[in-house]
Structure 1
Amino acid sequence: MTRIIASIFIIGLVVYGVITSYLDSKEAEPFPAQAASDMVLTKGGVAPLFSLTNLQGEQVSLQELKGTKVILNFWATWCPPCKEEMPEMQKFYEENKDNDVIVLAVNATQTEIRASDVQDFVNEYELTFPILLDEEGIVNTDMYHVVTLPTTFFIDSNGIMQQQVLGSITYEQMKSITESLD
């Protein structure tokens, strides 16, 4: 009986070793977004490029916005400070959408109870600026290292990070910071 238990244990160790080795080899080639996770976000650094789907199902790419100042906001529907800043963001967007400034709001969709909550939120707050869905959290967590919602990044027209604001942002802050961008 002891020999049988010992044999089963040894076979289990061998199987475990084979499976572990196989899984390790699968992790050797990272996603492009995972490779970007090693980037340190600093003022004057290049903003990590990404492409996400908006609520209309269209792809929006940060790279395609080069030449435009970008306010990149990370948020969620359940976040009270996010709710507080959305009317300010909408006002800023309406007044500046024709001035080479765009607001991109990246929803932390992986934290939402239902993906449909995002559209309900947009309808309730009557938001018209682009809402992007980060369904797997790759952009907000892995690429931009967002740990606080909301977090807003200001990117100049050359794609360079210029400022980061943690927490709710006001219309006046958006105006002041974007005026300082080239």
Structure 2
Amino acid sequence: MNNRTRWLVVVLVLGLAGVVALWPRDEAPEPPTPTRPTQDVAALRAQAKLRPCVPGAEGGVGVTCLGDGTRTALALKGPLLINFWATWCQPCQEELPVLERYAEQPDAVPVVPVLVESRETDGLELLARLGVRLPSVYDGPDELRKKVKAPMTLPATYYVAADGQVRQITDPPYFTAPEQVGKAVR
């Protein structure tokens, strides 16, 4: 192949590349296909049978009640136990039923599980499967987690005292028995 033929091939390849690069494309790309069908949230709420959320308090942090989908304000007024969890977190899945059993005790501090880093529908499915009926909320924008300065590691549990002091419970890292919860909130 002589020099002239080589240059002709280079010009043709560059010209073809330019045409492909400038070829008009659709303005709006197709939305991604969901990996699974969208589920009826109302049916999932009915299946989960969560207890109602406490009505919002002025000055609280905006969250979504998983039981009915309403926006509410969760006030950091105690005594209260706040548990941040996600559907992909295995220790969270083990801890949620323990928190449910603790909350059933007559002298229990109110427990509020807070779903983060997961979709509401996935959270409702998991709570239904685990048989956890605690009044639960969804903190999609992480406003509550930022307010209490919770770490990104999960689960993360906080005790809010009657005087409004908030402290993280780190011993144990997650609860495996209701008695541990009772001891941590004393």
TM-score if structure 1 supplies the norm length? 0.60
- Residue matched to 2:103: 93
Given residue 147 of structure 1, which amino acid in structure 2 is its aligned partner? Answer: M
- Residue matched to 2:81: 71
What is the CA distance between 1:167 and its match in structure 2?
3.3
Given residue 107 of structure 1, which amino acid in structure 2 is its aligned partner? Answer: L
After superposition, what is the alpha-carbon deviation per residue over 1:12-58, rounded to whole angstroms, capped at 9, x for unaligned?
xxxxxxxxxxxxxxxxxxxxxxxxxxxxxxxxxxxx94231111123
CA distance in 2: counterparts of 1:160 and 1:142, whole angstroms: 13
CA distance in 1: counterparts of 2:124 and 2:98, whole angstroms: 19
- Residue matched to 2:93: 83
Count the aligned residue pairs.
125
CA distance in 1: counterparts of 2:71 and 2:164, whole angstroms: 18
- Residue matched to 2:17: none
Q: In proportion to residue count, which structure has more helix?
A: 1
Given residue 82 of structure 1, which amino acid in structure 2 is its aligned partner? Answer: C
Secondary structure, counterpart of 2:114 in structure 1: strand
TM-score if structure 2 supplies the norm length? 0.59
CA distance in 2: counterparts of 1:134 and 1:62, whole angstroms: 10
What is the CA distance between 1:163 and its match in structure 2?
4.1
Given residue 110 of structure 2, which amino acid in structure 1 is its aligned partner? Answer: I
After superposition, what is the alpha-carbon deviation per residue over 1:116-169, rounded to whole angstroms, capped at 9, x for unaligned?
101101110111112110112232246523221000001112221244227322
Bigger Rg over Cα: 2
Given residue 84 of structure 1, which amino acid in structure 2 is its aligned partner? Answer: E
Larger RCO: 1 or 2 (CA < 8 Å, sep 6+) = 1
Q: Is the 8 A contact 2:150 2:156 kept in 1?
A: no
CA distance in 2: counterparts of 1:150 and 1:82, whole angstroms: 5
Overall identity of the aligned pairs, in %: 28
CA distance in 1: counterparts of 2:148 and 2:96, whole angstroms: 23
Q: Which residue of 140, 146, 153 corresponds with 1:148?
A: 153
| Residue 157 to residue 88, structure 1, CA distance change in 2 (3 Å) | same
Q: Which residue of 64, 70, 74 corresponds with 1:62?
A: 74
CA distance in 2: counterparts of 1:160 and 1:125, whole angstroms: 31
| Residue 139 to residue 167, structure 1, CA distance change in 2 (3 Å) | same
Q: Is the 8 A contact 2:102 2:108 kept in 1?
A: no
CA distance in 1: counterparts of 2:151 and 2:179, whole angstroms: 23
- Residue matched to 1:174: 181
Q: Which runs of 4+ in 1 moved over 6 A?
A: none
Query: Any unmatched runs of 5+ in structure 2?
Result: 1-58
